[in-house]
Structure 1
Amino acid sequence: MAMLPILEFPDPRLRTKAAEVDVAEVGTAAFQQLLDDMFQTMYEAPGIGLAASQVDVHQRFMVVDVSEEKNTPMVFINPQVVEKSGGQVYQEGCLSVPGIFADVTRADAIVVRYLDRQGQPQELAADSLLAVCIQHEMDHLDGKLFIDYLSPLKREMVRKKLAKQRKQMA
Protein backbone atom coordinates (compact mmCIF):
# COMPACT_ATOMS: atom_id res chain seq x y z
CA MET A 1 0.00 0.00 0.00
CA ALA A 2 1.04 3.58 -0.52
CA MET A 3 0.21 6.94 0.95
CA LEU A 4 -1.40 9.24 -1.60
CA PRO A 5 -0.98 13.02 -1.65
CA ILE A 6 -4.16 14.82 -0.57
CA LEU A 7 -5.07 17.96 -2.53
CA GLU A 8 -5.56 21.02 -0.34
CA PHE A 9 -7.77 24.08 -0.74
CA PRO A 10 -7.53 26.27 -2.82
CA ASP A 11 -6.22 23.72 -5.37
CA PRO A 12 -8.55 24.10 -8.40
CA ARG A 13 -8.58 20.32 -8.97
CA LEU A 14 -10.82 20.05 -5.89
CA ARG A 15 -13.51 21.81 -7.94
CA THR A 16 -13.60 19.09 -10.62
CA LYS A 17 -16.88 17.20 -10.97
CA ALA A 18 -16.04 13.49 -10.87
CA ALA A 19 -17.06 11.11 -13.65
CA GLU A 20 -18.99 7.87 -13.09
CA VAL A 21 -16.85 4.77 -12.52
CA ASP A 22 -17.07 2.16 -15.27
CA VAL A 23 -18.33 -0.98 -13.51
CA ALA A 24 -15.85 -3.10 -15.51
CA GLU A 25 -13.01 -1.20 -13.83
CA VAL A 26 -14.12 -2.06 -10.27
CA GLY A 27 -12.75 -5.61 -10.27
CA THR A 28 -9.33 -4.70 -11.65
CA ALA A 29 -6.23 -5.08 -9.51
CA ALA A 30 -5.36 -1.42 -10.13
CA PHE A 31 -8.73 -0.17 -8.85
CA GLN A 32 -8.62 -2.45 -5.79
CA GLN A 33 -5.07 -1.25 -5.03
CA LEU A 34 -6.22 2.36 -5.30
CA LEU A 35 -8.96 1.62 -2.75
CA ASP A 36 -6.38 0.08 -0.38
CA ASP A 37 -4.11 3.10 -0.84
CA MET A 38 -7.00 5.47 -0.14
CA PHE A 39 -7.87 3.61 3.08
CA GLN A 40 -4.24 3.77 4.23
CA THR A 41 -4.07 7.49 3.41
CA MET A 42 -7.36 8.19 5.20
CA TYR A 43 -6.41 6.21 8.32
CA GLU A 44 -2.95 7.79 8.60
CA ALA A 45 -4.20 11.37 7.96
CA PRO A 46 -6.26 10.63 10.23
CA GLY A 47 -9.73 10.96 8.76
CA ILE A 48 -13.09 9.21 8.56
CA GLY A 49 -13.72 9.67 4.84
CA LEU A 50 -11.78 10.31 1.65
CA ALA A 51 -13.21 11.00 -1.80
CA ALA A 52 -11.24 10.03 -4.90
CA SER A 53 -11.28 13.69 -5.96
CA GLN A 54 -9.15 14.55 -2.92
CA VAL A 55 -6.33 12.34 -4.22
CA ASP A 56 -6.62 13.75 -7.77
CA VAL A 57 -8.64 10.82 -9.15
CA HIS A 58 -11.76 12.39 -10.62
CA GLN A 59 -14.09 9.42 -10.50
CA ARG A 60 -17.22 8.98 -8.36
CA PHE A 61 -16.08 6.84 -5.45
CA MET A 62 -15.04 7.26 -1.85
CA VAL A 63 -13.88 5.35 1.21
CA VAL A 64 -15.40 5.82 4.67
CA ASP A 65 -14.86 4.42 8.16
CA VAL A 66 -16.57 6.23 11.04
CA SER A 67 -15.93 3.46 13.60
CA GLU A 68 -13.84 4.27 16.69
CA GLU A 69 -11.76 1.12 16.12
CA LYS A 70 -11.21 1.89 12.40
CA ASN A 71 -12.39 -1.62 11.53
CA THR A 72 -15.51 -0.88 9.45
CA PRO A 73 -14.18 0.17 6.03
CA MET A 74 -16.88 1.07 3.51
CA VAL A 75 -16.54 1.74 -0.21
CA PHE A 76 -19.13 3.78 -2.10
CA ILE A 77 -18.88 3.67 -5.90
CA ASN A 78 -21.18 5.93 -7.98
CA PRO A 79 -23.18 6.89 -4.85
CA GLN A 80 -26.57 8.60 -5.10
CA VAL A 81 -28.60 9.93 -2.20
CA VAL A 82 -32.18 8.85 -2.91
CA GLU A 83 -33.80 10.08 0.33
CA LYS A 84 -33.04 12.80 2.87
CA SER A 85 -34.80 13.71 6.08
CA GLY A 86 -34.30 15.91 9.10
CA GLY A 87 -31.47 18.30 9.66
CA GLN A 88 -28.48 18.53 11.94
CA VAL A 89 -25.63 20.91 12.53
CA TYR A 90 -22.30 19.14 12.75
CA GLN A 91 -18.85 20.60 13.19
CA GLU A 92 -16.97 19.39 10.13
CA GLY A 93 -13.33 19.28 9.22
CA CYS A 94 -11.67 18.10 6.06
CA LEU A 95 -8.36 16.53 5.07
CA SER A 96 -8.27 18.99 2.14
CA VAL A 97 -8.77 21.97 4.47
CA PRO A 98 -6.42 21.03 7.33
CA GLY A 99 -6.93 22.52 10.76
CA ILE A 100 -10.22 24.23 9.88
CA PHE A 101 -13.54 23.28 11.47
CA ALA A 102 -16.95 24.83 10.95
CA ASP A 103 -20.60 24.12 11.65
CA VAL A 104 -22.46 22.78 8.61
CA THR A 105 -26.16 21.89 8.37
CA ARG A 106 -26.92 18.65 6.55
CA ALA A 107 -29.67 16.04 6.43
CA ASP A 108 -29.81 13.94 9.61
CA ALA A 109 -30.80 10.75 7.80
CA ILE A 110 -30.19 9.63 4.22
CA VAL A 111 -30.65 6.61 2.02
CA VAL A 112 -27.80 6.11 -0.42
CA ARG A 113 -27.57 3.75 -3.40
CA TYR A 114 -24.12 2.72 -4.53
CA LEU A 115 -21.90 -0.09 -5.70
CA ASP A 116 -19.77 -1.78 -3.06
CA ARG A 117 -16.11 -2.78 -3.37
CA GLN A 118 -17.07 -5.83 -5.45
CA GLY A 119 -19.29 -3.75 -7.75
CA GLN A 120 -22.52 -5.09 -6.25
CA PRO A 121 -25.51 -2.71 -5.95
CA GLN A 122 -26.34 -1.72 -2.37
CA GLU A 123 -28.73 0.57 -0.55
CA LEU A 124 -27.92 1.91 2.90
CA ALA A 125 -29.93 3.95 5.39
CA ALA A 126 -27.50 6.14 7.34
CA ASP A 127 -27.90 8.71 10.08
CA SER A 128 -25.80 10.82 12.44
CA LEU A 129 -22.05 10.86 11.76
CA LEU A 130 -22.20 8.33 8.91
CA ALA A 131 -24.85 10.38 7.10
CA VAL A 132 -22.79 13.55 7.53
CA CYS A 133 -19.63 11.84 6.32
CA ILE A 134 -21.30 10.40 3.21
CA GLN A 135 -22.82 13.78 2.31
CA HIS A 136 -19.47 15.54 2.90
CA GLU A 137 -17.56 13.09 0.67
CA MET A 138 -20.26 13.20 -2.01
CA ASP A 139 -19.86 16.98 -2.09
CA HIS A 140 -16.19 16.41 -3.00
CA LEU A 141 -17.30 14.28 -5.96
CA ASP A 142 -19.35 17.27 -7.13
CA GLY A 143 -16.45 19.70 -6.72
CA LYS A 144 -17.84 21.21 -3.52
CA LEU A 145 -16.09 21.74 -0.18
CA PHE A 146 -17.60 22.11 3.28
CA ILE A 147 -16.31 25.68 3.44
CA ASP A 148 -18.68 26.51 0.55
CA TYR A 149 -21.43 26.43 3.19
CA LEU A 150 -19.70 29.35 4.96
CA SER A 151 -20.15 33.03 4.24
CA PRO A 152 -17.75 34.54 1.67
CA LEU A 153 -16.00 36.44 4.48
CA LYS A 154 -15.39 33.28 6.54
CA ARG A 155 -14.26 31.42 3.40
CA GLU A 156 -11.70 34.15 2.68
CA MET A 157 -10.49 33.95 6.29
CA VAL A 158 -9.97 30.20 5.83
CA ARG A 159 -8.01 30.77 2.61
CA LYS A 160 -5.73 33.30 4.34
CA LYS A 161 -5.21 31.08 7.39
CA LEU A 162 -4.20 28.12 5.20
CA ALA A 163 -1.85 30.30 3.13
CA LYS A 164 -0.20 31.50 6.36
CA GLN A 165 0.16 27.89 7.60
CA ARG A 166 1.80 26.85 4.32
CA LYS A 167 4.19 29.80 4.48
CA GLN A 168 5.24 28.87 8.02
CA MET A 169 5.85 25.25 6.98
CA ALA A 170 7.95 26.23 3.95
Structure 2
Amino acid sequence: MENLVLIIGGNLGDRLLLIKKARNLLEKRLGKELIASSIFETEAWGGSSLGYYLNQVLVYQTALEPMQVLECIQEIENQLDRKREVKWGNRTMDIDILYFGKRTINSEKLILPHPYLEKRKFVLEPLSQILPDFIHPSLGKSHQELLRICQDISEVKLYEKKARNIRAK
Protein backbone atom coordinates (compact mmCIF):
# COMPACT_ATOMS: atom_id res chain seq x y z
CA MET A 1 0.00 0.00 0.00
CA GLU A 2 1.27 3.44 -0.92
CA ASN A 3 0.06 6.94 -0.27
CA LEU A 4 -1.38 8.60 -3.33
CA VAL A 5 -1.82 12.38 -3.48
CA LEU A 6 -4.33 13.80 -5.95
CA ILE A 7 -5.77 17.19 -6.77
CA ILE A 8 -9.33 17.32 -8.05
CA GLY A 9 -11.38 20.20 -9.35
CA GLY A 10 -13.27 21.88 -12.13
CA ASN A 11 -14.87 25.10 -13.30
CA LEU A 12 -18.05 23.89 -15.02
CA GLY A 13 -21.40 22.74 -13.66
CA ASP A 14 -22.15 22.38 -9.96
CA ARG A 15 -18.50 22.49 -8.94
CA LEU A 16 -19.04 21.51 -5.30
CA LEU A 17 -21.35 18.60 -6.13
CA LEU A 18 -18.87 17.33 -8.72
CA ILE A 19 -16.07 17.38 -6.13
CA LYS A 20 -18.26 15.37 -3.75
CA LYS A 21 -19.12 12.86 -6.47
CA ALA A 22 -15.48 12.53 -7.50
CA ARG A 23 -14.44 11.85 -3.90
CA ASN A 24 -17.04 9.11 -3.56
CA LEU A 25 -15.99 7.47 -6.82
CA LEU A 26 -12.29 7.74 -5.97
CA GLU A 27 -12.68 6.11 -2.58
CA LYS A 28 -14.64 3.22 -4.10
CA ARG A 29 -11.97 2.64 -6.73
CA LEU A 30 -8.68 3.58 -5.06
CA GLY A 31 -8.99 2.76 -1.39
CA LYS A 32 -9.37 4.63 1.85
CA GLU A 33 -9.21 8.42 1.82
CA LEU A 34 -6.75 9.45 4.53
CA ILE A 35 -6.72 13.24 4.35
CA ALA A 36 -8.63 15.95 2.50
CA SER A 37 -7.69 19.60 2.30
CA SER A 38 -10.18 22.39 2.48
CA ILE A 39 -11.74 23.32 -0.84
CA PHE A 40 -10.17 26.35 -2.50
CA GLU A 41 -11.59 28.62 -5.18
CA THR A 42 -8.93 29.55 -7.69
CA GLU A 43 -8.31 31.49 -10.85
CA ALA A 44 -7.81 29.49 -14.03
CA TRP A 45 -4.18 28.52 -14.72
CA GLY A 46 -2.68 27.90 -18.14
CA GLY A 47 -4.60 30.41 -20.21
CA SER A 48 -7.31 28.38 -21.98
CA SER A 49 -10.19 28.30 -19.51
CA LEU A 50 -12.53 30.88 -18.06
CA GLY A 51 -14.12 31.19 -14.66
CA TYR A 52 -13.05 30.11 -11.22
CA TYR A 53 -12.22 26.54 -10.26
CA LEU A 54 -12.88 24.68 -7.05
CA ASN A 55 -9.90 22.50 -6.10
CA GLN A 56 -9.12 20.06 -3.32
CA VAL A 57 -6.12 17.87 -2.51
CA LEU A 58 -6.80 14.33 -1.33
CA VAL A 59 -4.56 11.61 0.05
CA TYR A 60 -5.45 7.94 -0.36
CA GLN A 61 -3.85 4.68 0.58
CA THR A 62 -3.96 2.38 -2.43
CA ALA A 63 -2.79 -1.04 -3.51
CA LEU A 64 -3.05 -0.07 -7.20
CA GLU A 65 -0.06 0.65 -9.40
CA PRO A 66 0.41 4.15 -10.90
CA MET A 67 -0.85 3.26 -14.41
CA GLN A 68 -3.91 1.58 -12.89
CA VAL A 69 -4.60 4.77 -10.93
CA LEU A 70 -4.21 6.87 -14.08
CA GLU A 71 -6.74 4.69 -15.95
CA CYS A 72 -9.10 4.83 -12.99
CA ILE A 73 -9.04 8.62 -12.66
CA GLN A 74 -9.54 9.10 -16.40
CA GLU A 75 -12.60 6.83 -16.23
CA ILE A 76 -13.97 8.89 -13.33
CA GLU A 77 -13.34 12.16 -15.21
CA ASN A 78 -15.26 10.74 -18.17
CA GLN A 79 -18.07 9.55 -15.90
CA LEU A 80 -18.34 13.14 -14.63
CA ASP A 81 -18.62 14.46 -18.23
CA ARG A 82 -15.04 15.66 -18.71
CA LYS A 83 -14.41 16.84 -22.27
CA ARG A 84 -10.84 17.00 -23.60
CA GLU A 85 -11.20 19.51 -26.43
CA VAL A 86 -8.61 22.16 -25.47
CA LYS A 87 -5.45 21.75 -23.36
CA TRP A 88 -6.04 23.40 -19.97
CA GLY A 89 -9.58 24.22 -21.10
CA ASN A 90 -12.84 24.38 -19.18
CA ARG A 91 -13.84 21.14 -17.49
CA THR A 92 -16.32 19.57 -15.12
CA MET A 93 -13.62 17.53 -13.42
CA ASP A 94 -9.87 17.26 -13.61
CA ILE A 95 -8.02 14.73 -11.47
CA ASP A 96 -4.23 14.89 -11.38
CA ILE A 97 -1.79 12.61 -9.61
CA LEU A 98 0.62 14.80 -7.65
CA TYR A 99 2.59 12.07 -5.87
CA PHE A 100 2.61 8.29 -5.69
CA GLY A 101 4.55 7.68 -2.51
CA LYS A 102 8.03 9.04 -3.22
CA ARG A 103 8.23 7.46 -6.65
CA THR A 104 9.56 9.30 -9.64
CA ILE A 105 8.19 8.26 -13.02
CA ASN A 106 8.93 9.77 -16.41
CA SER A 107 6.99 7.98 -19.11
CA GLU A 108 5.03 9.10 -22.15
CA LYS A 109 1.73 8.77 -20.24
CA LEU A 110 2.71 9.73 -16.69
CA ILE A 111 5.26 12.00 -15.02
CA LEU A 112 5.58 11.93 -11.22
CA PRO A 113 5.84 13.98 -9.16
CA HIS A 114 3.47 16.15 -11.19
CA PRO A 115 5.66 18.30 -13.48
CA TYR A 116 3.92 21.64 -12.77
CA LEU A 117 3.30 21.19 -9.05
CA GLU A 118 5.83 23.77 -7.87
CA LYS A 119 4.59 26.37 -10.36
CA ARG A 120 0.93 26.27 -9.31
CA LYS A 121 -0.22 28.18 -6.26
CA PHE A 122 -3.63 26.44 -6.43
CA VAL A 123 -1.81 23.15 -5.85
CA LEU A 124 0.68 24.36 -3.24
CA GLU A 125 -1.90 26.09 -0.99
CA PRO A 126 -3.87 22.90 -0.22
CA LEU A 127 -0.70 20.79 -0.13
CA SER A 128 0.77 23.19 2.43
CA GLN A 129 -2.41 22.90 4.47
CA ILE A 130 -2.38 19.10 4.81
CA LEU A 131 1.23 18.07 4.04
CA PRO A 132 3.29 21.18 4.92
CA ASP A 133 6.54 19.38 5.68
CA PHE A 134 6.43 16.71 2.96
CA ILE A 135 9.64 16.96 0.92
CA HIS A 136 9.24 16.92 -2.85
CA PRO A 137 11.35 13.90 -3.94
CA SER A 138 12.98 15.66 -6.90
CA LEU A 139 13.25 19.26 -5.66
CA GLY A 140 14.24 18.54 -2.05
CA LYS A 141 11.94 21.27 -0.67
CA SER A 142 8.83 21.14 1.52
CA HIS A 143 5.45 22.34 0.29
CA GLN A 144 5.74 25.36 2.58
CA GLU A 145 9.09 26.26 1.01
CA LEU A 146 7.76 25.71 -2.50
CA LEU A 147 4.74 27.92 -1.78
CA ARG A 148 6.97 30.65 -0.36
CA ILE A 149 9.10 30.79 -3.53
CA CYS A 150 6.29 30.13 -6.04
CA GLN A 151 6.03 32.92 -8.60
CA ASP A 152 2.37 32.22 -9.44
CA ILE A 153 0.39 35.33 -8.43
CA SER A 154 -3.08 33.94 -9.21
CA GLU A 155 -5.79 34.25 -6.59
CA VAL A 156 -6.40 31.23 -4.33
CA LYS A 157 -9.00 31.64 -1.60
CA LEU A 158 -10.64 29.36 0.92
CA TYR A 159 -14.06 28.22 -0.31
CA GLU A 160 -15.05 25.53 2.17
CA LYS A 161 -13.06 24.65 5.24
CA LYS A 162 -12.64 21.09 6.49
CA ALA A 163 -14.59 19.36 3.75
CA ARG A 164 -13.13 15.98 4.73
CA ASN A 165 -16.37 14.23 5.68
CA ILE A 166 -18.70 15.61 3.02
CA ARG A 167 -20.04 12.94 0.69
CA ALA A 168 -22.45 13.05 -2.26
CA LYS A 169 -25.27 10.58 -2.51
* Range into which the TM-score falls when normalised by the shorter chain: under 0.3
- TM-score (norm. length: structure 1): 0.27
1 or 2, which has the higher helix percentage? 1
